[in-house]
């Protein structure tokens, strides 16, 4: 049995220790907001937060995150009101939307370490791929989310 803490809930799971976290989230827990894109930690579609840090989960064995707080897009905020989600909606970022859970989880973690990011910070910190090319709006939305967060604080 493997114990996982996901979105504040404890799960006892009968899975192999080497099972990738991505597929445990999707297929064992039904949390399908986290996506599969490449399987080799290249694209970031599978990004979640582990103890607040963005992690790509397609190659991450579940055994390595036992006891850590895992947050997926479904658990990012109650009522989907996280500043990053609000900013994403205002800027109308998504096109196909498939990469966006990963982008949002990466951006939310990034803003914790870069509350007032420059464009260069964003270039360095945001490395998830988007085949639809939503990058210009992601950039705008991150600046907006930073502004929203600082207003609140």
Question: CA angle, corner 79, sides to 137 and 111, nearest 5?
Answer: 45
Residue 147, helix vs strand vs coil: helix
8 A C-beta contact, residue 87 and residue 144: yes
Length of the chain measured in residues? 153
Cβ at position 111, least distance to ligand FES in Å: 19
148 binds other proteins (CB under 8 A): no
User: Binds 122, which of other proteins, ligand FES, none (CB < 5 to 8 A, cut-off by type)?
Assistant: other proteins
Alpha helix locations (H) across 25-127?
83-90, 100-113, 119-125
Stretch that binds other proteins, among 49-57, 68-76, 110-118, 145-153 (CB under 8 A): 68-76
DSSP 61: B
User: Binds 140, which of other proteins, ligand FES, none (CB < 5 to 8 A, cut-off by type)?
Assistant: none
Show the site string, 24-63: x = touches other proteins by CB under 8 A, - = not.
x-xxx-xxxxxxxxxxx-xx-x------------------
């Amino acid at each position: 049995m493997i114990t996982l803490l996901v979105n504040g809930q404890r799960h006892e799971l009968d899975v192999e220790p080497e099972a990738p976290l991505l597929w445990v989230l999707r297929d064992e827990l039904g949390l399908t907001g986290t996506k599969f894109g490449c399987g080799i930690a290249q694209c970031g579609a599978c990004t979640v937060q582990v103890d607040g840090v963005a992690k790509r989960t397609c190659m991450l064995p579940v055994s390595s995150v036992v006891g850590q707080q895992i947050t997926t897009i479904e658990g990012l905020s109650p009522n989907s009101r996280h500043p990053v989600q609000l900013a994403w909606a205002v800027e109308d970022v998504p096109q196909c939307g498939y990469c966006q859970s990963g982008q949002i989880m990466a951006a939310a973690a990034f803003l914790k370490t870069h509350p007032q990011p420059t464009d260069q910070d964003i270039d360095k910190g945001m490395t998830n791929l988007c085949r639809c090319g939503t990058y210009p709006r992601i950039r705008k939305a991150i600046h907006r989310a930073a502004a929203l967060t600082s207003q609140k604080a």
